[in-house]
Structure 1
Amino acid sequence: MNGHVFVIGLGLIGGSLALCIKKEHPDATIMGYDVSEKQSQLGKMLGVIDEIIDEIPKGAARADLILIATPVKEVERIIELLCDVPLKDNVIISDAGSTKLEIVKKAACLKEKGITFIGGHPMAGSHKSGVTAAKSILFENAFYLLTPEKDTRIEDVEKLQDWLMGTKARFLQVMPEEHDYITGVISHFPHVIAASLVHQAEKTSLKQNLITRLAAGGFRDITRIASSSPEMWRDISLHNKAVLIELLQEWQNEMDKVTQMLQEEQEVEIYEYFFQAKRFRDEMPIKEKGAIPAFYDLFVDIPDYPGIISEITGYLAKENISLTNIRIREAREGIYGVLDISFQTEEDREKAEQCIKCYTNYETSMGL
């Protein structure tokens, strides 16, 4: 396919979508806009986009496809702006926001003008942000949810999927309400719970100073999504507040049930509670991408001596294996510690494990 594609928002998602389209449709011209001039310039310099656009109306008027890859509140503002811009009759507009119902409602003004808007949500991400983190492989095998309305033409949905073919994502069509409920359960609500656990630990740490020191291991893992952008999650929470309020009420009922089991020392029920949770969790696909970015961690048992970290990273560099984060979980004099290395993909983690086994005799294990 050829034509002009206008990507609004040159962060991780927008930049990666641009790269996917360039790879699959080399004859297309990729135009890019970002509120940060630096991001736009980096996008052009890195070859993510072909042309920098300094004002949204200029790029929108020329576009055959417009992709809005900004925070959800900004998506609404941009849609309002596009409603007042002269656009091509056959242009398709989509977004990449984490909520859909409010955005689709906002796009009614486009529909009134005969412009096709199809909500979108590529369910993939990374620990990194910005256009420099953009990758054409980011969405491979990830679910890409589309929320066309009932009267959206099938050929328009197919055309959008053709434009996005280079993502190698798995497209699913759902209603906007269904999208927001599903993502509320598996993404938005867990972020609220993770943040609440951190708040609870912080309050407890005021009277028990060991909390901070001992929370450095598994607690960090189960709450790591709480380190996500506060601005982004403020907007998502307000956009999907009805679903979140419903889920929070259900959660309170669930906690009341747990409280009662503990008060009455219901041993069988408590066992079943944990057993059923373990069974359902263990049956979940391990390698499939979901709504929350996966953390591909490799744990390496290492001896405590100077230079051990540079030794390990040196082996990885020698094999051209990129890592996204590295930290020591435990290191005490005279005993083995645990080096926690995070990778962008499952493939990188597997390569790293083979690399370390090749060069050393250190034990390794993968986080699940």
Structure 2
Amino acid sequence: MSKCIAETAKMKLAIIGVGLIGGSLGMSLKAALGDDIYITGLCRTQDSMDLAMERGAVDFASSDLETVVKDADIVFLSTPVLQMPPLVARMLPFLKPGVILTDAGSTKGYLYEKLREILPSDVYYIAGHPMTGKEKSGVAAADKDLFKNHAYIIVGDTGAPREAHEKLRALLEHTEATFYELGYEAHDRCASIISHIPHITAAALVTLLNRSGDDFESCLKLAAGGFKDTTRVASGDSDMWADICMTNPIAIRDHLVRMQGILGEVIKYIDQGDRDGVYQYFLAAKRSRDEIIWRTEKLFEL
């Protein structure tokens, strides 16, 4: 495999973890920019390297961190969150001054605190989170349109200069995502409600079915589209979701406790035979969801 780096590229991007998100980013940017960008990717196995290049997610793939990040203008971290700080520590000797370090992690506060302890002043960290994905993982599931019309959060308070933000934003706009700025604390609270708790809940529904005992086989005969749709995200990457729970514990725990309280209210209505209480619970949720879906469709042109 050739290790020649294209010297004529206008920008060099290094993707650390060429899976669903990293692979989709690479495919999107190559489709938009062609030879104006040179993309290297860090992969663990030869098979994943070959597939990443075959699918057009990267120009060059390697398992050698120095080779991948050397001379990069932007480094995009796309691994489970707990793997990111050790990887950054390992790559620091190979990063050029002025490089922009960004990520696709689903939690922001943990990573910000860890990275600001080790990053030199000439490495600019800009936290990010593309709010998109699939239940499948790996570069085989990557899609050049995965980011299109989806929210992409950029955290504005991680200390990088405005010029670095403008450079990163100019590149990422080629994905056709919709960009928003949030503080990292607000991001983690909101991501817990919108993404993390739904995933935990979907996994809980599958676990409930698995623990149905003698009813399991009979339940399977009833498991049609509603169960499939409600539990879809439970097929996601287990490493990623374990790291999310470990790196956003306060918000996730607080919202799980609130969820327990809400379910407790429904249990109380049912115990008391309070049909109107149950009715109002469903009615309020229906009206709210209809409004939320209408507003998000307007925001993201879905």
Give the TM-score of the pair, scaled to structure 2.
0.88
Amino acid at match of 1:169: A
Deviation at 1:286, TM superposition (A): 6.1
Instruction: Show the counterpart of 1:143.
Output: 151
Which has the higher mean CA deviation after the structures are superposed, 48-57 or 232-241? 48-57
Checking the alignment, whether the CA contact within 8 Å between 2:20 and 2:139 is kept in structure 1 is yes
The 5 A counterparts of 1:64-143 are 64-83=73-92, 85-143=93-151
Q: Tell me if 1:5 matches 2:13.
A: yes
SS at the partner of 1:42?
helix
Runs of 4+ in 1 over 6 A off after TM superposition: none
Q: For residue 169 of structure 1, what is the aligned residue in structure 2?
A: 177
Secondary structure in structure 2 of the residue aligned to 1:35:
coil
Shift of 1:64: 0.6
Q: For residue 199 of structure 1, what is the amino acid of its counterpart?
A: T
Equivalent position amino acid for 2:255 in 1: L
SS at match of 1:270: helix
* d(CA) in 2 for partners of 1:188, 1:159: 30
1:61 to 67, 70, 73: 70
Match of 2:160 in 1: 152
User: Who is 1:46 aligned against?
Assistant: 55
Give per-residue Cα distances to partners, 1:250-294, cap 9 Å, x unaligned. 1121122222222222232221111000111112236958xxxxx
What are the Cα deviations for residues 175-228 of structure 1, in whole angstroms up to 9, with x where unaligned? 111111111101111111111122222222335642222224422221222222
- Asked if the contact 1:20–1:164 (Cα under 8 Å) also holds between the matched residues in 2, the reply is no
**Could you say if the C-alpha distance between residues 22 and 109 of structure 1 is closer, same or farther in structure 2, counting changes exceeding 3 Å?**
farther
- 2:239 matches 1:231: yes
**RCO greater where, 1 or 2, for CA within 8 Å and sep 6 or more?**
2
Residue 275 of structure 1 pairs with residue 270 of structure 2? no
For the Cα contact (< 8 Å) 2:124–2:159, is it kept in 1?
no
Cα distance, 1:48 vs. partner?
2.3
Tell me which structure has the larger Cα radius of gyration. Answer: 1
The more displaced of 50-59 and 88-97 is 50-59
The Cα of 1:66 is off from its aligned counterpart by 0.5
C-alpha distance in 1 between matches for 2:164 and 2:152: 16
TM alignment of 1:249-260, pairs within 5 A: 249-260=257-268
| Greater percentage in helix | 2
What do residues 109-144 of structure 1 show as CA deviations (whole Å, max 9, x unaligned)?
454443101111111123443223322211111101
For these two proteins, the number of residue pairs brought into alignment is 289
- How far 1:82 sits from its partner (Å)? 2.7
- Partner Cα separation in structure 1 for residue 175 and residue 42 of structure 2: 20
Q: Secondary structure at the match of 1:114?
A: coil
TM-score after normalising by structure 1: 0.73
Contact 1:144 1:172 in 2 (8 A): yes
Secondary structure of the structure 2 residue equivalent to 1:6: strand
- 1:262 is aligned to 270
Decide which moves more: 35-44 or 211-220.
211-220
Unaligned runs of 5+ in 1: 290-345, 347-368
Q: In the alignment, is the contact (CA less than 8 A) between 1:66 and 1:94 conserved in 2?
A: yes
Provide the aligned C-alpha RMSD in A.
Answer: 2.2
- Which residue is 2:5 aligned to? none
1:260 maps to a residue whose letter is: K
